Amino acid sequence: MASLAARSGRARAAHLGPERRRPLILDAALEVYVERGYRGTSMQAVADAAGVTKPVIYECYPNKDELLLALLDREERRLMDAISESLPTNLVSDNTEAVLAAGFTAFLAGVGHAPNSWRVVFDSGWGSDSVVAARVRRVRDMVVGQLRELVRQSMTAAEIDDIDRKAPVVAEVIATVAESCARMLVLEHYPWTAAELATYVARLLARGLRPV
């Protein structure tokens, strides 16, 4: 069976030190992971995709777990950057639907620009690993924390009572819906564009999240 490197017409890579090699190996690991999943991602497959020998991979990462954790770490950072850029700076507005639509559109557009990063995070094989699951939860908690503060600002401006109890609930609802929408686009290939889905979901949420 032809290797990924051979199939893509790539020649064997020139000699590089581990520091310069690692980003290239992670790129190859992401390619293999998306094509074959967690179980099908072997050190040999990554070596073939990177156009190097397997010992070169081991010079950079001592085993498959270390390699895939490094990949997850990189994709986490990419996703956090995309999510942070998509969050509105202020939810205080008379037009909640427009604010939510803008935020969801930016978020889902970011998902569309980095679908492979989301596949790595969403993959159920990784989700079963306690270390990886804890890392994903940590990222999610950071995002929900930022949302909670934005919701708190909006509720304070609207003079809603019992904010300490209500803000976390609203933030969790928004985060869960956003995550579900990302799954729809990346894993389940729903027939929606990011903008269409964002606008529709924002309309639903705005009608259900009016100040109460």
pLDDT-derived band at 22 (thresholds 50, 70, 90) equals very high
- pLDDT tens digit string along 109-138? 777 666 777 777 666 444 445 455 666 677
What is the reported pLDDT for 126?
A: 44
Distance CA 28, CA 49 (A): 5
8 Å CB contact between 16 and 53: no
Compute the C-alpha angle 44/46/47, nearest 5°. Answer: 60
pLDDT tops 90 at residue 44: yes
User: Does domain 72-208 sit in CATH 2.60.120.200?
Assistant: no
pLDDT of amino acid 123: 64
Fold observed for domain 11-62: Arc Repressor Mutant, subunit A (1.10.10)
CA angle, corner 190, sides to 184 and 194, nearest 5?
75
What residues does each domain of the chain span? 11-62, 72-208
Query: 211 pLDDT exceeds 60?
Result: no
